[in-house]
């Protein structure tokens, strides 16, 4: 028993997570089947030193983040999440885009967060529905891609 508890503590499962949208109007926690794009990468500038051909110097040149990709069953666009997406992607830039912060919780078996990622100033950049196929017996999936300015790991 002690060994299985120890293994669970250090080997979290990737299927138990929650996604929470912060801001007004409230969206709250939304169910998704998949989350990806939690990445931070340092851009590097390569500098060659005059007369030295054995190596090059790499200098930090800023931080870049991937886009957050959230997948779920196709849902009506009249809920607050759908309206936020429609305003950003189909509103013709009549209204300013309202960025939202997003929390992604990786949970343990007791429903406690064991890791938290915080995506600041997120906004929709792509909304896509996967292709339909009459030969498959699967649910229709939509994908939401969000850009964000900063990613921090809180826990």
Domain count, the chain: 1
Asked if residue 10 is part of any domain, the answer here is no
pLDDT in tens, 27-54: 999 999 999 999 999 999 999 887 777 8
Instruction: Kindly state whether residue 5 falls inside one of the protein's structural domains.
Output: no
Q: What is the CATH number of the domain that holds 63?
A: 2.30.110
| 97 confidence band (pLDDT: 50, 70, 90) | very high
pLDDT at 69 over 90: yes
HSE on the CB side for 112, CA within 13 Å? Answer: 4
Distance CA 70, CA 30 (A): 10
What is residue 75's predicted lDDT score, i.e. its pLDDT? 86
Domain contains 145? yes
Q: Are 49 and 57 in contact (CB under 8 A)?
A: yes
Taking the C-alpha atoms of residue 155 and residue 153, their distance in angstroms, rounded to an integer, is: 6
Torsion sign, CA atoms 78, 79, 85, 87: positive
- β-bridge pairing 68-73 and 141-147: antiparallel
Q: What average pLDDT does the segment 115-136 reach?
A: 94
Identify whether the C-beta of residue 103 lies closer than 8 Å to the C-beta of residue 91.
Answer: no
Q: Can you tell me the distance from the alpha carbon of 14 to that of 127, in angstroms, rounded to the nearest whole number?
A: 24
113-129 and 141-147 as β-strands: parallel, antiparallel, unpaired?
antiparallel
Question: Mean pLDDT of all residues in the chain?
Answer: 89
The larger pLDDT score, comparing residue 79 to residue 22, is at: 22
Q: Which domain holds residue 106?
A: 16-153
Percent of the chain, pLDDT > 70? Answer: 94
């Amino acid at each position: 028993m002690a060994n299985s508890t120890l293994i669970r503590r250090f080997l979290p499962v990737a299927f138990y997570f929650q996604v929470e949208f912060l801001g007004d109007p409230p969206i709250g926690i939304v169910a998704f089947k998949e989350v990806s794009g939690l990445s931070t990468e340092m851009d590097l500038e390569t500098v060659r030193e005059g007369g030295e051909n054995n190596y090059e110097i790499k200098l930090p040149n800023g931080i870049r983040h991937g886009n957050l990709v959230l997948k779920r069953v196709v849902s009506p666009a009249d809920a607050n999440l759908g309206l936020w997406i429609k305003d950003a992607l189909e509103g013709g830039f009549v209204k300013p885009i309202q960025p939202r912060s997003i929390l992604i919780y990786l949970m343990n078996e007791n429903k406690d967060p064991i890791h938290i990622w915080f995506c600041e100033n997120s906004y929709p950049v792509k909304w896509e529905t996967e292709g339909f196929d009459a030969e498959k017996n699967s649910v229709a999936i939509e994908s939401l891609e969000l850009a964000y300015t900063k990613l921090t790991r809180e826990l």
